[in-house]
A = this chain, B = another copy of it.
Amino acid sequence: MPNDVVTLTPVILSGGSGTRLWPLSRPEMPKQFLPLTGEDTMLRLTLARTVGMSNAAPPIIIANWAHADLLEKQVPGDSPLILEPSARNTAPAIALAALAVEDPSAALLVMPSDHVIADLAAFHRAIQTALPLVAEGWLVTLGIAPSGPETGFGYIALGRELGDGAQQVDRFVEKPDRAKAEAMLAAGNHVWNAGIFLFRADAYLAALGQFQPDMLASATAAYRQGRRDGRFLYPDPESFAACPSDSIDYAVMEQSDRVGCVPVDMGWSDVGSWDVLHSIADKDEDGNAAGVHATLIAARNCLVRSDGPRISLIGVEDLIVVATEGEVMIVPRGQSQMVKKAAEAAAAR
């Protein structure tokens, strides 16, 4: 079955604005373009994850037009770069990519540009597991084995087996409250929806035509009337502005009855907050992840990120401190979901 798939084309969604990691992440420099989790930027680490996949074509990157220069710098080679003239969420963005691949039977591997995957081998194995279903026209999502009753993710209830290592999706569950999350964890057979998808380009476009015909029409018009400039594609702004805005989850995955899931445990993290970044960072024996710009005196379980100012933490516990370009943000651990409010206040200044 995998032999039916001519190519595997990674599609990297890089249009996020990343307000939850303010002030390092800003509208003009969202988190995927920053080296938040390692020595390279999150986008480049995402690109690196596609190296070594069999039959893989150069990745297609979809991003906000305002970040053209960042893409030019960070994406090597001849990867196509699609620059959205406006934000229309993931379903239309993926449609542009599906239209851009030459072979309509090509498999797309759709993934966000700002996740961490620690176990690369497990990731690649999950993709190989998915490909036979993809070849048959299934829409496939990777499901993350839950490590706790998280309330920040959507869940997937798994149904019947679809061959080795894959199951049909019974239903998608929106971000639950704590009790519901614990119930799903106790019940088993539920995984996190990580927003990583595999399907044939033609299967996605067919599903979009079935469930969101207006979206397909607008995206197709935007693509066809688009302007090319080297490896950049600029979809037509007017047509794309007319496109309904929705996520692939709502617009397509939750509508279709041919949706499969490959559960996988691959050290995944969405790096969705400073708290997550502290949890995945290398820490000293006192639980601090502080870096070279910090002086720690009786400090415990703190995260410090500074691109210049020296941060002296004295007798402080469970604090997140981020300093960059004239901004110093301080929030207790466990409360970093409030950072978004500070980002909004900063944008309004």
Residues on A lying within 8 angstroms of B by beta carbon are 23, 295, 297-298, 306, 308-316, 319, 321, 323, 326-332, 335, 338-339, 341-342, 345-346
Contact = CB atoms under 8 A, between A and B. Distances in A.
Q: What 9 pairs across the A-B complex have the smallest Cβ distances?
A: A314-B331, A315-B335, A312-B342, A312-B329, A311-B328, A314-B338, A309-B328, A309-B326, A310-B327
Contacts of A316: 319, 330-332
Nearest to A334: B315
A146 B66 CA distance: 63
A57 to B, nearest CB: 43
Contact of A308 (B23, B312, B326, B345): B326
Contact of A314 (B313, B327, B339): B339
Q: Main secondary structure on chain A at its contact with chain B?
A: strand
Nearest to A320: B314
In this complex, the member of A23, A308, A330 whose beta carbon has the largest number of chain B beta carbons within 10 angstroms is A330
A328 B315 contact: no
B295 A346 contact: yes
A295 B330 CA distance: 10
Given A314-B342, A316-B331, A319-B330, 8 more contacts: A23-B312, A295-B345, A298-B338, A309-B328, A312-B329, A313-B330, A314-B335, A330-B330
Contact of A346 (B312, B339, B345): B312
Contact of A323 (B23, B309, B319): B309
10 contacts: A297-B338, A297-B345, A306-B328, A310-B327, A310-B328, A314-B331, A314-B339, A314-B341, A316-B319, A321-B330
B309 A331 contact: no
Contacts of A339: 314
Contacts of A330: 311-314, 316, 319, 321, 330
A331 B315 contact: yes
A316 B319 CA distance: 9
Nearest to A343: B312
Given A298-B338, A345-B297, A312 B328 contact: yes
Given A295-B345, A345-B297, A346-B295, A310 B338 contact: no
